[in-house]
Structure 1
Amino acid sequence: MTERKHHRPMTPGDRFLESVAGGVDPIEVREAADRAATLLVRGARETGDPQVAERLLHLADTEGIEAIAEVWAGSPADTLAGCLWRLYLLRSWVYADPVEVARQFDAGRTRAQVARVVAGVAEPPGPEELQTMVDEVLRGIAGSDFADVLLRAAAFARVVATGRAALEHDPAEVRHTLTLAEQLETAGHAELAHRLG
């Protein structure tokens, strides 16, 4: 049996640690995401420029929903970043399958009439009407009270959740949509109370 020499383990230097960790501090990423969300929401309203609203509307189209998710998906629901993520997710979902979402909205609108009115979808609620509504909601980031944007999106999600339940969708899917509605509604009330940051 040969005798093995034991070596003292090498201690990695700073460069090694940076390469393992990706060189990105998660706290800095979160702070940058929060700053970007604040600039988009608060700054867009101050400009009064209709082109800003259009750029905000198409942000997910130009940057990709995956890029937005990377920045904002981990943000809590009661932050501007978390609200933006949920709003863009809602738009992406409506555009991904407008016919099915219209069917779900239609099934829920008679059971959630107050929410239907707040959502403000044209009658009858077809695919184009839903896409128009969700685009108006996102344009509202720049042109409306942000609380109204959140409450309108929450009402829309609530009607769809009600419709999914009526159509006997997967209960987990219904709960997820209802949770989205509740998070947006809570954020809308926080915005009204000037507590959303």
Structure 2
Amino acid sequence: MPRDHHRPVHFTDAEFAAIKGGEDPALVNRVAHETANALLHRVRQDPDPEVVERLVTYTDVHGIEAVAELWARVGAHTLPGALWRIYLMRTVIRQNPDEIAFLFTRGTERIGTIDQAVAGAEQPTGPSEILTLADSILHGLYTGDFAVALDRGAAFCRLAAAGATSVADDSDLTAEERASVLTVRAFRLSELAEDLTAAAALWRRDALD
């Protein structure tokens, strides 16, 4: 259900300069929350397909840094923090869909949970299907059940993390450097999963702001 949020606030040039330079953490936090609330509220009230598509593909045109500038420096268990993490997840997928699809599939083979059904990826899951999944999850933030979209992102991250851990274990003796890289990736994906799960629970309690 769309929720009422704070009204968007107009900012002076000096305030925007402070944001860009990271000189005022309180202002950075304020702008992150204002923009996330205003954007989500506006789009969910009137989910024009063209607008939603532009939002989904925004980082393809402007780069992930454009989203990071607004939302990456606030807490994980906030609305801007959750939005940032879904965009980050999509970017990770798009940077190497072949490897991510492989890790995701390995994860589904290694852990017997409902995460595969929650994530909602087509089977078998190749690069094309994993790219479709990333876009579908982001679409869900703007047009579907917001908490479900976060849960789908968390499920994807858990499966990819499990896959990365499994491949790292296989590589430990023969490709130590690759094993190390995959272990770090698994840890970061697991952190993403935990943050998104927590954000989904907060949203359901009307406490994600």
Q: Give how far 1:178 is off.
A: 0.5
> Which piece of structure 1 moves more, 169-178 or 130-139?
169-178
Letter in 2 for 1:95: R
The residue aligned with 1:195 is: 207
Describe the superposition over 1:103-161 as per-residue Cα deviations: whole angstroms up to 9, x where unpaired: 10010012143111100000000000000011011111221011011000000001001
Describe the superposition over 1:58-87 as per-residue Cα deviations: whole angstroms up to 9, x where unpaired: 121232111211221111111111011101
Matched ranges for 1:1-197 at <5 A: 25-110=24-109, 111-168=111-168, 169-170=179-180, 171-197=183-209
Output the TM-score relative to the length of structure 2. Answer: 0.80
Number of residue pairs matched?
A: 179
Letter in 1 for 2:141: I
Structure 1's unaligned 5+ residue stretches are 1-17
Structure 2's unaligned 5+ residue stretches are 1-16, 169-178
Letter in 2 for 1:58: T
In the alignment, is the contact (CA less than 8 A) between 1:154 and 1:182 conserved in 2?
A: yes
Using a 3 Å threshold, how does the CA distance of structure 1 residues 107 and 35 change in structure 2: closer, same or farther?
A: same
Output the TM-score relative to the length of structure 1. Answer: 0.85
Return the alpha-carbon distance in structure 2 between the equivalents of residues 24 and 179 of structure 1: 28
Return the alpha-carbon distance in structure 1 between the equivalents of residues 198 and 112 of structure 2: 18
Q: Could you say what secondary structure the match of 2:114 adopts?
A: helix
Return the alpha-carbon distance in structure 2 between the equivalents of residues 160 and 142 of structure 1: 24
Letter in 1 for 2:108: R
What's the Cα RMSD here? 2.0
Percentage of identical aligned residues:
37
Letter in 2 for 1:89: L
TM superposition outliers: structure 1 runs of 4+ over 6 Å: none
Q: Could you say what secondary structure the match of 1:196 adopts?
A: coil
Letter in 1 for 2:199: A
Q: Could you say what secondary structure the match of 1:113 adopts?
A: coil
- Higher RCO, Cα 8 Å, sep 6+: 1
